[in-house]
Amino acid sequence: MEALLALTIANLKSFVRDRAALFWTIAFPVIFVLLFGTLFGGTGTASFRVGWVDLDHTASSAGLEKAFARTGVLTLTPMSDASAMAQTRQGQLDAVIVVPAGYGAAVGKARGDGGTTGSVSLTLYTDPTHTSTAQAIEQIVDGVTTGVNQAISGRPPLLSVAVRPIAGTAIASGATYYVPSILAMAIMQLGIFAAIPLVQQREKLILKRIGATPLPRWTLVGSNVLLRLVIAAVQTAIILAIGLVGFHVRITGNWALIAGIVALGALMFTALGYVIASFARTEEAANGVTQVAQVLMMFLSGIFFPIEVMPEWMRSIARLLPLTYLGDGLRQVMVGGSPFVPLGVGMGVLAAWLVVCLAISARFFRWE
């Protein structure tokens, strides 16, 4: 027990002092969470630059400007007609809204008779080469004008739509998807990268040297597993903290269950690391195999994009990979993501992978 603890602490010190290992297991996933969380955060940070050309100059047109500004997604810049067109052409503006002269008069008239007479038209200029931006702005403008029309006429709409996520399957933002996914990726890397120090220690005869002491071999394996579990806990804490603080991801699941899934994943991928170390003769070979394995799993296991959007052939590969089930399980438990397979089935697949990896390592792993 004393030796197990001492060896684990020694491994931990080695790990922390080896900058490369620290980068791949901590910094790399953190960068990914920050990157993907920011890119696909979807929490209303998007904003469009819109030129505001007011040819009316009345209190009504000023009120209309406020109504657009209240949406929070349009940054309005008041300007003259000519300069707005020029800036749109140079790509400095996403769109231009022109309020015609006589808008205020028309509004005043409409208020008088309940909005049944006459109409006035805003002009919206958009860049047709940026389809999605143009569509988004059209919808926003449409929404605002509808609201203004109702306010003027004083008649609430008969039919309206309230959009709500289905309970229990809410993926409210990109970050909610990416935080558990990238945690799964980090655990995968942590586990399979165990192969590299193992092969190093075998090549440098460290394993053989320890074999010449009375230390039982299970202690060596045990300390390695303990080390990976400790680092997995640190990874989980860091990634969750970033998700909670940086992207307001709400963790809905049971903490014990999350810890259990993280531990099962770390064990399983560490065992896979031993499998790689069983067949890789040199450090270079181990490096190559782990790199290929991690990249393949990263892109084929629904880490960066959901399995549902994959073509069928890709999905059938994803079904075989353990990372698919770790990511799926963590999404289900942490943020209530919609299941690819039921949690029990996913954990069963992980456990099966663990057993197979253990059996292969026990048979083929060499100490020297």
Partner 1 sequence: MDLDRAREWRMTESRTAEARVVECRDLRKRYGDLEAVAGASFEVRAGEVFGLLGPNGAGKTTTIEILEGIRSLDAGTVRVLGLDPRRDARRVKSRIGVQLQTASLYPYLTVGELIDLFGRFFPRRLDARRLLGALGLEEKRDAQTRTLSGGQQQRLSVALALVNDPELVFLDEPTTGLDPAARRSLWEVVRGLRAEGRSVLLTTHYMEEAEALCDRLAIMDRGRILELGNVTELVNRRFRERAVHFTAIAGLDAASMRAFPGVDRVVLEGGEVHLYTSNVAATIGAVLAAAETLDATPEELGVRRATLEDVFLDLTGRALRD
Region from 45-53, 68-76, 141-149, 199-207 binding partner 1, contact rule CB under 8 A: 199-207
Region from 14-22, 131-139, 229-237, 243-251 binding partner 1, contact rule CB under 8 A: 14-22
Shortest reach from residue 220's CB to partner 1, in Å: 10
Shortest reach from residue 22's CB to partner 1, in Å: 11
Region from 63-71, 121-129, 206-214, 297-305 binding partner 1, contact rule CB under 8 A: 206-214
- Interface with partner 1 includes 245 (CB under 8 A)? no
Region from 38-46, 107-115, 158-166, 207-215 binding partner 1, contact rule CB under 8 A: 207-215
Per rule CB under 8 A, count of chain residues that contact partner 1: 20
How far is Cα of residue 122 from the mean position of the Cα atoms in its chain?
39
Q: In what order do the strands lie in the sheet with 123-126?
A: 74-78, 48-54, 95-99, 123-126
Of residues 215 and 341, the one with the C-beta less far from partner 1: 215
Q: Say how far apart CA 66 and CA 64 lie, in whole Å.
A: 5
Residue 300: count of CB within 10 angstroms of its CB? 20
Shortest reach from residue 289's CB to partner 1, in Å: 22
- Contact residue for partner 1 among 44, 63, 211, 288 (CB under 8 A): 211
Q: Say how far apart CA 298 and CA 277 lie, in whole Å.
A: 20
Shortest reach from residue 255's CB to partner 1, in Å: 33
Spatial CA neighbour of 225 closest among 190, 174, 276 = 190
- Interface with partner 1 includes 18 (CB under 8 A)? yes
Region from 7-15, 123-131, 150-158, 159-167 binding partner 1, contact rule CB under 8 A: 7-15
Q: Say how far apart CA 80 and CA 100 lie, in whole Å.
A: 12
83 Cβ contact partners less than 8 Å away, ≥ 6 residues apart? 51
Whether the Cβ atoms of residue 329 and residue 347 lie closer than 8 Å to each other: yes
Of residues 10 and 237, the one with the C-beta less far from partner 1: 10
Of residues 208 and 250, the one with the C-beta less far from partner 1: 208
- Interface with partner 1 includes 210 (CB under 8 A)? yes
- Interface with partner 1 includes 212 (CB under 8 A)? yes
Q: Using alpha carbons only, how large is the chain's radius of gyration in Å?
A: 29
- Contact residue for partner 1 among 31, 101, 205, 359 (CB under 8 A): 205
Of residues 154 and 214, the one with the C-beta less far from partner 1: 214
DSSP string, 80-91: -HHHHHHHHHTT
16 Cβ contact partners less than 8 Å away, ≥ 6 residues apart? 22
- Interface with partner 1 includes 70 (CB under 8 A)? no
Whether the Cβ atoms of residue 291 and residue 145 lie closer than 8 Å to each other: no
Which amino acid appears at position 255 of this protein?
W
Angle at 273 between CA 270 and CA 275, to 5 degrees: 120
Site string for partner 1, 106-145 (x = CB under 8 A): ----------------------------------------
- Interface with partner 1 includes 2 (CB under 8 A)? yes
- Interface with partner 1 includes 281 (CB under 8 A)? no
Whether the Cβ atoms of residue 276 and residue 192 lie closer than 8 Å to each other: yes
Whether the Cβ atoms of residue 233 and residue 17 lie closer than 8 Å to each other: no
Shortest reach from residue 9's CB to partner 1, in Å: 8
How far is Cα of residue 290 from the mean position of the Cα atoms in its chain?
23
Please count the CA atoms within 13 angstroms of the CA of 321 that sit on its side-chain side: 24
184: enclosing H helix or E strand: helix 174-192
Whether the Cβ atoms of residue 318 and residue 310 lie closer than 8 Å to each other: yes
- Contact residue for partner 1 among 105, 215, 230, 358 (CB under 8 A): 215
- Contact residue for partner 1 among 209, 217, 250, 366 (CB under 8 A): 209
Of residues 132 and 213, the one with the C-beta less far from partner 1: 213
What residue ranges bind partner 1 (CB under 8 A)? 2-3, 6-7, 10, 13-14, 17-18, 204-206, 208-215
